[in-house]
Structure 1
Amino acid sequence: MTQASVIPVDQGPKITARQVNVNASAADIFALVADPHRHHELDGSGTVRDSTVKGPDRLKKGDKFSVGMKQFGVPYKITSTVTDLADNKVVEWQHPMGHKWRWELVETAPGNTQVTESFNYGTAKVPAMITAFGYDKKNGEGITKTLEQLAKRFA
């Protein structure tokens, strides 16, 4: 079995984005992304914890949800707000510090979806801190692992 190729996508300055083709319908992928209780199933960064999620099972624009995280051995919780959502196409949420995570799904053929995940730190309250601490690159690595896992899940 060949591993899916995750490729960088240029979406402009202060946006880290990656893309992969997945052998699944947009609806199946959307079901994972639009349910914050399942985000640990997607996470390639190793920071999302599965047991501490509060929020609806199916997100809609304006919803808030909290996810337990762990980084550098320190547990913490993040409450994000859904800023964009279109069924089977887009899920985007904003972190309290202003940056956004976005998933875009384009079903290119029945059972095949182009998935783009992006981290937009141009909307962050202090975008210079993102690059100073290397989170643009670190999040790019996490996105790549996330998309590899997603493609493997539906292989």
Structure 2
Amino acid sequence: MFGSSRYLVSVTRLIPADRQWLFDLVADPAQHPVIDGSGSVKAARPGGPERLSLGATFSMDMNLGTDYRIRNTVIEFDEPSLIAWRHFNGHVWRYRFAEAPGGTQVTEEWDARGVWNRLALVLLGFPQRNRAGMAATLDRLAELAAARD
């Protein structure tokens, strides 16, 4: 299921897995390159936390046409239901986990509503690009959950 507005994009999928297990996977920065469906997350930078928590900062090696590093701060954390982080530009990556018949309903959101240059992000196609990457990320989460069985 897809949801979107001009500056908020979300993708939701039912994943037949335990909510805490899925939350733990996303709360581990070392797993982000494994679950990332966009292909832009390459590696967790050394020195970051092994597990995210409210206020934690972590950096990632990225590639979006060129290599770069990004530093993130966890701004929302309600285990095992919600985790979100923001980087210097201000947009937020958020994951919501809700128990549902047959598993966990996972929603990934890209939230640029509070970003000063949000119109530029829209004009550069980030909402559509991120929607496709988020759908692929949720597919990867489902594949990892299925491989556990």
Q: 1:102 aligns with which of 81, 86, 94?
A: 94
Work out the CA distance in 1 between the residues paired with 2:105 and 2:130: 20
Query: What do residues 62-110 of structure 1 show as CA deviations (whole Å, max 9, x unaligned)?
Result: 11110010111x111000110100111101001210000000000114x
Moved over 3 A (4+): 51-54
Q: Deviations over 1:7-41 (max 9, x none)?
A: 1035x551100000111111110111111111111
RMSD: 1.5
CA distance in 1, matches of 2:139, 2:110: 16
One-letter amino acid of the structure 1 residue matched with residue 99 of structure 2: E
C-alpha contact 1:53 1:68 (8 A) present in aligned 2? no
Is the CA contact 1:22–1:115 (under 8 Å) kept in the aligned structure 2? yes
TM-score (norm 1): 0.88
Match of 1:44 among 25, 34, 37: 37
Task: Name which of 19, 32, 46 aligns with 1:26.
Answer: 19
- Between the two proteins, the alignment pairs up a number of residues equal to 146
SS in structure 2 of the partner of residue 44 of structure 1? coil
Unaligned runs of 5+ in 1: 1-6
- State the TM-score, normalized to the length of structure 2: 0.92
Shift in Å, 1:153: 1.9
1:62 aligns with 2:55: yes
User: What is aligned with 2:3?
Assistant: 9
Structure 2 distance, partners of 1:76, 1:50, is 11
Give the Cα–Cα distance (whole angstroms) in 1 for the partners of residues 34 and 116 of structure 2.
29
How far 1:54 sits from its partner (Å)?
Answer: 4.0
133 and 13 in structure 1: CA distance in 2 versus 1, 3 angstrom threshold? closer
Relative distance call for 1:102 and 1:51 in structure 2 (3 A) is: closer
Kindly indicate whether residue 124 of structure 2 is the aligned counterpart of residue 133 of structure 1: yes
Quickly say closer, same or farther: Cα 1:53–1:89, change in 2 above 3 A.
Answer: farther
Identical counterparts, % of pairs: 32
- Contact conserved, 1:92 with 1:101, CA < 8 A, in 2? yes
Q: Which runs of 5+ in 2 are unaligned?
A: none
Partner Cα distance (2:70, 2:77) in 1: 19
Whichever residue aligns with residue 8 of structure 1, its letter is: F
